[in-house]
Amino acid sequence: MLQATVIVKVSREFTTSAEAVFDAWLDPQKAGNFLFATPTGVMKTVEIDARIGGRFCIIETRDGVDVEHVGEYLEIDRPQHLRFSFGGNPFPATYVTLNISRSESGCVLQLVHEGVWTDYEASVVQGWTDILENLAQLV
């Protein structure tokens, strides 16, 4: 049965440069500290092949279970645009686009996640909001 989907949009202002925010998404050391990281989880694997056609695999152990996040980089235009496929068992691939624009105080990141199952909309909004808050603490 086909699941109904929605587009999730989340944005966040940062008081640092667009380059610093963009680069954190492609740096395994930094990404492991904010991307799909939860307060009680333990980061197990952070593999990032930061090129168009390159893939990422981020695995965090949560309550004894490995949670895998995988995808492929589709568009990379530093420092303003990043687009990647995103999936993880049991979910089908979806698409995430980041657009970063400069502002007076630093930059603004606008995230668009396409193909989110309607039943998961609220949790996906909360998840990305938490990720962007963690990123703000990091950069």
Query: What is the structure's pLDDT at 2?
Result: 73
Residue 15 pLDDT more than 90? yes
The model's pLDDT over 73-129, given as tens digits with 9 standing for 90+, comes to 999 999 999 999 998 566 678 999 999 999 999 999 999 999 999 999 999 999 999
Residue 52 pLDDT more than 80? yes
Q: What is the dihedral of CA 105, 35, 70, 8, to 10 degrees?
A: -60
For residue 137, which of 68, 35, 47 has the smallest C-alpha distance?
35
Share of residues in the chain with pLDDT > 70 (%): 96
Distance CA 97, CA 114 (A): 8
Question: Which domains does the chain carry?
Answer: 5-138 (3.30.530.20)
Stretch 4-19: mean pLDDT: 96
| Sign of the CA dihedral with 14 first, then 16, 17, and 20 last | negative
Stretch 4-20: mean pLDDT: 96
The model's pLDDT over 32-50, given as tens digits with 9 standing for 90+, comes to 999 988 888 899 999 999 9
